[in-house]
Amino acid sequence: MTARIIPFDYQGHTVTFNAEGWLHATVIAERFGKRLDHWLDNAETLEYIRALDEIQHHGSGPSTIVNTRKSGYLKSRRGNAGGTWLHPKLAVAFARWCDAKFSVWCDMQIEALIHGDQANWQQARQQSAIGYRGLCEALAIAHEESGKTPQRHHFINEAKLINQAITGQFAGRNRDQLSAHELVLVTLIEIRDVLLIGQGKDFAARKASLLRYVQSLTSKHLRSDAA
C-alpha cells in the first residue's frame, strides 16, 4: 500500500485514511470498546464481503471468498502506520458496527477523498513546495548579505519554525501526509516568513510574529465558521 496517508480528527481522536479511501481500522474498534477481530470473525461480515465481491465483479457468479482476512478487501501493513486497512466499500460497514454517527462521518470523508479533494490536495502541495523554495531563497539571500554562508541546517530549522508556529512543536513534518487545508496554512505562513526575513527580523522575532499570525488566522477561521 503506497497511497498517501491522511490523518483526520474525529472528536479529538486521529482516524487515518489513505488517498484512495482505505481506512486504518486497527485502533478504531478499541476506541468504541470493541475488537476488530470480533468483527472479522462475524458471519454477517463474511456475508457482506461476499455480497460486495459479487457486486464489485458485476454479478459474475457467486463469490468464492470464504475468509474475511483473505478476501482482498483488507490489507495488513507493517512499520509506519502498520495494522489492518479496510477497503473503502468495507470501511463504512465496519464503522457502522462501531457507531452510527462515526459511520456517517467516515462515509463523508471517503467520498471527499475519492471524488474531490485529491485534485485540491495536489494543488495545495505544489503551492507549499513553491512557498518553501521561495523561503529558502529569501533565507539564503539574507545570510549572504550579512556575509555568512547559508548552511543546510538553516533551511531545516526554518521549516521546523513554520511547523512550530502551527503545531507548537519544533520538529519536521511529512508534507505528503498533511491535508489540503494544512498545506494552505503552511504556504500562508511561509509567505509571511519571507516578508519577515526581508525586514531583517532575527529568528526569535520571526517566531513571535509567526505565532501571532497563526493566532489571527485561527480566530478569523473560527469567526467565519460561526457566521
Q: Which residues contact 6 (CB under 8 A, 6 or more apart)?
A: 16, 17, 18, 19, 113, 177, 179
Grid cell for residue 15: 482516524
Average pLDDT over residues 138-161: 94
* Best CA proximity match to 5, nearest among 204, 167, 177: 177
Give the chain's mean pLDDT: 86
The single-letter code of the amino acid at 83 is G
Alpha-carbon torsion, ordered 65, 70, 71, 76, to 10 deg: 170
Residue 223 confidence (pLDDT) above 60: no
Q: What is the per-residue pLDDT for 80?
A: 65
Positive or negative, the CA dihedral 69, 73, 78, 79 is negative
pLDDT digits (tens, 9 = 90+) for 153-194: 999 999 999 999 988 999 998 887 787 788 889 999 999 999
Whose grid coordinates read 490489507?
75
Q: What is the per-residue pLDDT for 124?
A: 84
Q: What is the per-residue pLDDT for 126?
A: 87
pLDDT digits (tens, 9 = 90+) for 207-216: 999 999 998 8
Strand-pairing partners, residue 74, are: 86
Evaluate whether 34 touches 108 at the Cβ level (below 8 Å): no
Q: Which helix (H) or strand (E) holds 85?
A: strand 83-86
Q: What is the per-residue pLDDT for 225?
A: 41
User: Whole-angstrom distance between the N-terminal and C-terminal Cα of the chain?
Assistant: 41
Q: What is the per-residue pLDDT for 56?
A: 81
Evaluate whether 22 touches 88 at the Cβ level (below 8 Å): yes
Q: What is the per-residue pLDDT for 224?
A: 45
pLDDT digits (tens, 9 = 90+) for 109-120: 888 777 666 667
Q: What is the per-residue pLDDT for 222?
A: 43
Orientation angle between helical segments 152-167 and 203-226, nearest 10 degrees: 30
